[in-house]
Structure 1
Amino acid sequence: MLPQTNPFPGDGPAVDPSQTHTLQWQTLNPLTYQLGESPFWHPLEQLLYWVDIAAKTIMRANVYMGTVETWEMPSEPGCLAPAALGGLVIALRNGIFRAREWRGGLDPVTTLPYDTGSVRANDGKCDPRGRFWVGTLDETKTAHAAALYSVDARSGRVPQVQRHVGDALTGNGLAWSPDERTAYWTDTASHAIRAWDCDLQTNTLTAPRTFHQFAPKPAGWTWSPASASNAVPYGGRPDGAAVDVQGHYWVALYEGQRLCRFAPDGRLVAQYPTPAVCPTMPCFGGEDLKTLYLTSARRGRSADELAAFPDSGCVFSTRVDVPGLAVNMYQD
């Protein structure tokens, strides 16, 4: 059961309590992961995929049978996506790789222009035209060396790498609107979700703007029973995201113990307590795309927090009323 506390301080103006709703979360299985990320539902295989970045491992689960398979990687897998021709495209620390089959060979696709000694791949997915987009993470936490890239290998062409946004610390929250005209991305450390006008024909992002700004993290804040009761208010920072068929943007709030749903105009329309203080990324799955899956993290969390939230690091699921957008396939 979730602790009966209010973990949702206002992001600037006070949050309307009527916007807070309860979802019936279940754990996918009792297994926990250090840094679960990048979940997607494979509609052809009817399997759920995700990664544990810290453990350098990819997982896939048959949610109907309750089985999970693992695949160790040679370096941290930041994100991955299904390929239209079968298999996966995977962003590792040292490049983009193509796996034609599960636990098969990793064929190099291309590299991204960053220093692998201090930067690694993080959140990413494919756009509706089949390009693979990857945000990166600056491990120095000071150099602002993270960026957002796209990799275009369609129709067997030599992969073309394009840098779209830079000067970031932790790239997250990548998603597109149902009409493909808006792209979303966030530098988690900035506590801001950004949006751009998107032209997938020319692969350009224009008219950058702030979609939603969250309140910053208070100096010295750490989770504790006192912080959970709002003695030290903090609502978390935006991590991974997904979009539903109505164009609402669902984002996990890391250290905020909540999942937020925003209307296309940037209004917060709902927020939901989560069974972990550090949810990382949602995705929609199941045959009707009305099952919401949510990865989470437990790496680096305190003993007190893990005692209060023992399922931290699990993959959670719940049913929702509005289906999500299907995962985009990599085209090569």
Structure 2
Amino acid sequence: MLQPHCVWDARAELGEGPVWSVREQALYFVDIVGQAIHRFHPESGQHASWSAPQRPGFVVPVSDGTLICGLKDGLYGFDPASGRFDCMVAVERELPGNRINDGCVDSKGRLWFGTMDDGEATPSGALYSVTRSKGRTLDVLRHDEGYVVTNGPAVSPDGTKLYHNHSPAGIIYVFDLAPDGALSNRRVFARVTDGYPDGVVVDSAGTLWVGAWNGGRVMRFAPDGTELPPIALPAVNVTKVAFGGPDLRTLYVTTARKNTPPDVLARYPQAGGLFSLRVDVPGQEPVAFPVDEMDALGDIALD
């Protein structure tokens, strides 16, 4: 069995959203409850952290070296050099109980993200994309709704499938994804009964890697939905993975201490840490959000 080891005992309350920066050869992730953004540079072993003004759901690299961060109430530009956050677009301002959760950039440079009820009770969450329509104009599109807690999204290597979780229901959905970004034919890809499906990433062979909240493992599913042997982690709440390193064969795994009783933390003292292990199949080549699209984000608003 693959053996993960802790590369940073970050003790994150809710470590989430790992993403590899090709430009920096470093891994970023967030602590949602701790309101922090973290960066780990594996070659040097150095790490850095920044406080966020609100709960961060995700960060994704931008091609100019900055980041887009999904905070509670919108998309923000974040500059690690200065630590500055700039609001670019408000999201669901009419739903103050909601927040942005997980996100990703697909191979065409589209940003996908989900929203959720911060109280994890009401099905007020939705799935969105941010795309360019003509020139510098961007569209923020709502594709699906009715989620209590959203996780994912993630896209298949051929760009024809998008996976997205309704975590409390234990459901991993798959959509057909058209070249223009339209989603259709939502259907159940897999159901999880031991724990809850958290963040999703798809490797270069099309295998889904899914964090198991309250499940102590990373789940794996073949493209046809067959469940593959999992990878155990020394934490109850396993949230999401990312592929990094020069060959994209180093798997990084975020975990959380949230909702873990003291006696269980005594058995898993590195819960909330960042773990890594080597894998045979690389991840997909990470794509940074194009800078010209980021510049136009300030012109976009959601009604």
TM-score, normalised via structure 1 length: 0.84
Rate the CA distance shift 1:153–1:90 in 2: closer, same or farther, 3 A: farther
Cα deviation, residue 97, structure 1:
1.2
Rg larger in 1 or in 2?
A: 1
Map of 1:243 onto structure 2: 202
Conservation of the 8 A alpha-carbon contact between 1:39 and 1:50: yes
Map of 2:26 onto structure 1: 47
1:306 alignment partner, SS class: helix
Residue 145 of structure 1 aligns with an amino acid whose one-letter code is S
Map of 1:204 onto structure 2: 182
Conservation of the 8 A alpha-carbon contact between 2:117 and 2:125: yes
Map of 1:162 onto structure 2: 141
Q: 1:308 aligns with which of 267, 270, 285?
A: 267
Rate the CA distance shift 1:299–1:210 in 2: closer, same or farther, 3 A: same
CA deviation profile, 1:123-161 (whole Å, cap 9, x unmatched): 111122212211112123332001111122588724321
Is 1:124 aligned to 2:109, yes or no? no
Map of 2:219 onto structure 1: 260
Rate the CA distance shift 1:49–1:129 in 2: closer, same or farther, 3 A: same
Runs of 5+ unmatched residues, structure 1: 1-21, 216-234
1:259 alignment partner, SS class: strand
2:116 alignment partner, SS class: strand
Residue 154 of structure 2 aligns with an amino acid whose one-letter code is A
Map of 2:299 onto structure 1: none
Map of 1:187 onto structure 2: 166
Map of 1:106 onto structure 2: 85
Conservation of the 8 A alpha-carbon contact between 1:81 and 1:88: yes
1:311 alignment partner, SS class: coil
Conservation of the 8 A alpha-carbon contact between 2:198 and 2:213: yes
Q: Distance in 2 between matches of 1:59 and 1:282?
A: 15
1:325 alignment partner, SS class: coil
Q: 1:150 aligns with which of 129, 133, 153?
A: 129
Q: Distance in 2 between matches of 1:78 and 1:67?
A: 23
Conservation of the 8 A alpha-carbon contact between 1:51 and 1:77: yes
1:28 alignment partner, SS class: strand
Identity percentage over the alignment?
A: 36
Rate the CA distance shift 1:198–1:65 in 2: closer, same or farther, 3 A: same
Aligned CA-pair RMSD: 1.6
Conservation of the 8 A alpha-carbon contact between 1:241 and 1:283: no
Within 5 Å, give how 1:280-299 maps onto structure 2: 280-299=239-258
Moved more, 106-115 or 39-48: 106-115
Cα deviation, residue 100, structure 1:
4.5
Q: Distance in 1 between matches of 2:227 and 2:151?
A: 19
Map of 2:68 onto structure 1: 89
Q: Distance in 2 between matches of 1:93 and 1:314?
A: 23
2:266 alignment partner, SS class: helix
Moved more, 173-182 or 155-164: 155-164
Q: Distance in 2 between matches of 1:156 and 1:306?
A: 52
Runs of 5+ unmatched residues, structure 2: 294-303
Cα deviation, residue 242, structure 1:
1.1
Conservation of the 8 A alpha-carbon contact between 2:213 and 2:237: yes
CA deviation profile, 1:154-182 (whole Å, cap 9, x unmatched): 88724321001100011102110000000
Cα deviation, residue 300, structure 1:
2.4
Larger strand proportion, structure 1 or 2? 2
Cα deviation, residue 212, structure 1:
0.2
1:85 alignment partner, SS class: coil
Is 1:321 aligned to 2:295, yes or no? no
Residue 3 of structure 2 aligns with an amino acid whose one-letter code is Q
Rate the CA distance shift 1:311–1:167 in 2: closer, same or farther, 3 A: same
Rate the CA distance shift 1:72–1:262 in 2: closer, same or farther, 3 A: same
Conservation of the 8 A alpha-carbon contact between 1:125 and 1:328: no
Conservation of the 8 A alpha-carbon contact between 1:83 and 1:89: yes
Residue 148 of structure 2 aligns with an amino acid whose one-letter code is L
Within 5 Å, give how 1:11-22 maps onto structure 2: 22=1
1:77 alignment partner, SS class: coil
Residue 313 of structure 1 aligns with an amino acid whose one-letter code is G
Map of 2:38 onto structure 1: 59
Query: How many pairs were matched up?
Result: 291
2:9 alignment partner, SS class: coil
